[in-house]
Amino acid sequence: MTQPIETVQVDAGILQALLEVRARAYAPYSGFHVAALIECPDGSRFAGCNVETSHYKSICAEASAISAMVAAGQRQIRRVWIVADGQACCPPCGDCRQRLFEFADDATEVLLIDQSAGSAQRWSLTELLPAGFRLRPS
Ligand SMILES: [Zn+2]
């Protein structure tokens, strides 16, 4: 059965940054606001929020953060924190698991925040996406 590695406390600064980004999410159709914060091996961080459009081809928070990371020249994800409103521990959708996998290694972590508890489930990406697709396996 798929399970998180452990439950960890969330750094107050990380949570505050995520909540500020989540508040700026553009979700007029679903009303479901999500923020993601990616950390690279060098410690740089990139935030993203979901952006919806009326034709329903929306951008997830994780995809938004990945775009910011790539635009800055980064190519490796150490960990990503995710927080959604109204739901404890919102896991990334299937598309975003594959997007994260593109820039991940076996140590990449996904932290799903339960805001009401101030904690996060710590997952390995490979647990969330076993046997992810690579066009050119290394
Ligand atoms: Zn997604």
Catalytic residue among 6, 39, 52, 62: 62
Given this model, what pLDDT does residue 1 score? 65
pLDDT value at residue 137: 74
Q: What is the pLDDT of residues 68-82, one digit of tens each?
A: 999 999 999 999 999
Distances (CA, A) of 20 to 6, 34, 37, 100: 26, 11, 11, 22
Complete domains list, the chain, with CATH = 6-128 (3.40.140.10)
Residues of the chain falling short of pLDDT 50: none
pTM for the whole thing?
0.94
Q: Is 127 a catalytic residue?
A: no
Which pair of structure tokens corresponds to residue 67?
């775009």
Residue 9, classed as helix, strand or coil, is strand
The closest alpha carbon to 16, from 90, 96, 81, belongs to: 81
**Residue 72 · residue 38 · CB < 8 Å:** no
What separation in Å is there between the alpha carbon of 8 and the centre of ligand 1?
23
